[in-house]
Amino acid sequence: MRRTPALIAGGGPAGAVTAALLARGGMRPLVIERAREVQDALCGGFLSWRTLQSLESVGVEAATLGGHVVRRITIHAAGRLAGASLPAPAIGLSRRRLDSLLLAHAEALGAAVERGVAIRSADQRVLHTADGAAVAGDNLFLATGKHDLRGLARPAPRDADPAMGVRVRLAASPALARMIGDAIELHPFAGGYAGIVLQEDGSANVCMAVRRSRLQAAGSLPALLDVLAAEAPALGERLAHRGAGQPVDAVANVPYGWRTARTMSGVYRLGDQAGVIPSLAGEGMGIAIRSGIRAAQVALGGGTAEVYQRDLARALRRPLGVAGMLRHVAERRGSALLLGGVFPGLVHRLAGWTRIDPAG
For the cut 70, the answer to whether the pLDDT of residue 66 exceeds it is: yes
Domain range list for the chain: 2-42+60-67+95-157+257-324
* CATH assignment, 2-42+60-67+95-157+257-324: 3.50.50.60
For the cut 90, the answer to whether the pLDDT of residue 330 exceeds it is: no
342 pLDDT band, cuts 50/70/90, is: low
State the pLDDT at residue 182.
98
Q: Is 237 left (phi over 0), alpha (psi -120 to 50) or beta?
A: alpha
State the pLDDT at residue 314.
97
Q: How far apart are CA 253 and CA 237, in angstroms?
A: 28
Q: Is the pTM of this model over 0.75?
A: yes
360 pLDDT band, cuts 50/70/90, is: low
Q: How far apart are CA 269 and CA 311, in angstroms?
A: 12
Which whole-number Å values give the CA distances from 344 to 69, 81, 113, 352, in the listed order?
20, 13, 44, 13
Least confident of 25-34, 51-60, 79-88, 325-334: 325-334
State the pLDDT at residue 158.
86
Cα 80 to the chain's mean position, in Å? 28
Pairing of strands 204-211, 163-170: antiparallel
**Stretch 94-112: mean pLDDT, rounded?**
96
State the pLDDT at residue 348.
79
215-272 pLDDT, tens per residue?
Answer: 999 999 999 999 999 999 999 999 999 977 778 999 999 999 999 999 999 999 999 9
